[in-house]
Amino acid sequence: MTTKEAAVTAIPTLTTKRLVLRPLDNADVPGFVEIWSDPEFTRYIGGRSDPDSVWHAMAGNIGCWALTGVGPWAVVERSTGSLVGRAGLWTEPGWPDVEAVWFIRRDRWGRGYAREAASAAIGWAFAQRPDLDEVVAVILPDNTASVRVAERLDMTPRRLEFIHGEDHAVYTISQADWSAALRGLPAVPAVPAQAG
């Protein structure tokens, strides 16, 4: 997709059973500052939590949409209206392919939100881009929680790539395998929140 074609692509809003994936907004900065301030949340993904850095990261995410026609969405919990993370798609020059990404705040871990949001994004990507052969997930091998999400999405580990100064496992799912998995994919179970 050329930059000119991508720039005219409006960022859609996707709705799942429990989530809304919507365009990022300036009003999201405080929520993302709070999410990115949790060191356990950023353990494998990094990122700074000051408002300027969060805003610049959001601008980069919106820029991904403008330059490539895909990008991340803000993830909002339908039942509460709370911002619970960012998920969607990512690509950049030299990237392995269009990547499914999921960043869900720690107090919502274990509920299947990452899988639900990523499923919506992958389905959207394949529907919008019939020429897209596969979607990838680029994961640090020690990030076992994200590895489990990739596996639950029926993604397969294919190779290691040295990206941004570290070896990352590259998981993939082809468009054909995604279509086949959809026919037999069980519903995302809601896991009760742990008492804390």
Model confidence over 99-108: pLDDT tens digits?
A: 999 999 999 9
Residue with tokens 């590259």: 170
User: Which of 2-16, 96-110, 123-137 is predicted least confidently?
Assistant: 2-16
Instruction: Put the strands of the sheet holding 134-139 in their side by side order.
Output: 14-15, 19-22, 72-77, 83-90, 99-104, 134-139, 166-174, 156-163
CA within 13 Å, CB half, 162: 1
Bridge partners of residue 102, in order along the sequence: 87
Average pLDDT over residues 6-22: 86
Residue 71 token pair: 């990008």
Reply yes or no on whether the pLDDT at 4 is more than 90.
Answer: no
Q: For residue 33, which phi and psi values (nearest 5 degrees)?
A: -60, -45
According to the model, what pLDDT value does residue 193 have?
Answer: 39
According to the model, what pLDDT value does residue 186 have?
Answer: 46
- What pLDDT digit, counting tens, does each position of 167-193 carry? 999 999 999 999 887 765 444 443 433
- The pairing of strands 166-174 and 14-15 is unpaired
According to the model, what pLDDT value does residue 48 have?
Answer: 79
What percentage of the chain reaches a pLDDT higher than 70?
88
According to the model, what pLDDT value does residue 180 have?
Answer: 86
According to the model, what pLDDT value does residue 182 have?
Answer: 72
Average pLDDT over residues 120-126: 96
Residue 180 token pair: 């086949």
Reply yes or no on whether the pLDDT at 194 is more than 70.
Answer: no
pTM: 0.87
According to the model, what pLDDT value does residue 192 have?
Answer: 39
User: Which of 69-78, 147-156, 165-174, 183-192 is predicted least confidently?
Assistant: 183-192
Residue 87 token pair: 């998920």
According to the model, what pLDDT value does residue 187 have?
Answer: 42
